[in-house]
Amino acid sequence: MSLFSNIDWTDIGLATIDTLTMLGGSMTLTVILGLPLGVILFLTGKGQMLENKAAHAGLGLLVNILRSVPFVILLIVMIPLTVLLVGTSLGVAGAIPPLVVGAAPFYARLVETALREVDKGVVEASFALGATRRQVVLGALLPEAMPGIIAGATVTAIALVSYTAMAGVVGAGGLGDLAIRFGYQRFQTDVMVVTVVLLLVLVQALQMVGDTVVRKVSHR
C-alpha cells in the first residue's frame, strides 16, 4: 500500500469522470461541426460537384490555421471567447470550447480524406440513375466513406484525450489536472503513474472500439 500512499481514489474517480465528460461533450460537438465541414471541403474541391475555388481556399485556410495553433496556446487565446460562451474558462465547461475548436478542423480534414478515397464510379453511377446531389452525398458518398469517417473519429477521440490532459494546465479538471497539481507540482510520483496508466487504458479502449466498429461497417 505504501506504493500508493498519496493516492486518493475518490479524487481519481472524480477526475476520470471529468475527463470522460470533457471527451464525450467535445467529441460530440466535434463530429457535429467537423463532419459537415469536411463534406463541404470535399464538395467544393477541384473537380467535385460543388467546385468553388474561393470557398474551398477560404475554408482550407481557416482549417489549416486552427490546426497549426498549439493546443496549449489555443486554450489561453480562447479564454475571453470561452467565458463569453459558457461563463467560465475553468473546469469541464471551460475546456470544451477550445477542445472543439482544436479538434473539429482536424476531424474535418480526415473526413475530406475519407471522401476522396471513394471510387468516382459510385458517384457517376448514382447520377446516371437520376439521383440528386443531396441523394448522392447522403446515399452514396457518406455510406461508402463511412469506414474512413469512423476511423477518423477514433483518431480524433484519441487526440482529444491528450488535449484534455493538456487542458489541466489552465485548471480544466480531469486526469491531466490531477497529474499536474499532484504528480508534478507536489512530486507525487504514484499519482502521476496512476493518471498516466488510466489515460493509456482510455486510449486503448477507444482504439479497440473504433477498430471494431470499422470492421463491422466495412463488412456490410
> Looking at this protein, which amino acid is placed at residue 24?
G
Q: For position 1, what pLDDT does the model report?
A: 47
Which stretches in the chain have pLDDT values below 50? 1
Q: For position 218, what pLDDT does the model report?
A: 81
Q: For position 2, what pLDDT does the model report?
A: 58
| Residue found under cell 482549417 | 63
Q: For position 217, what pLDDT does the model report?
A: 87
pTM given for the model: 0.90
Q: 65-71: which pairs have CB atoms within 8 A and are 24 or more residues apart?
A: 66/101, 66/102, 66/104, 66/105, 67/105, 67/106, 67/109, 69/102, 71/98, 71/102, 71/163, 71/166
Q: For position 88, what pLDDT does the model report?
A: 83
Query: For the segment 182-202, what is each residue's pLDDT rounded down to a tens digit?
Result: 777 777 788 888 898 999 999
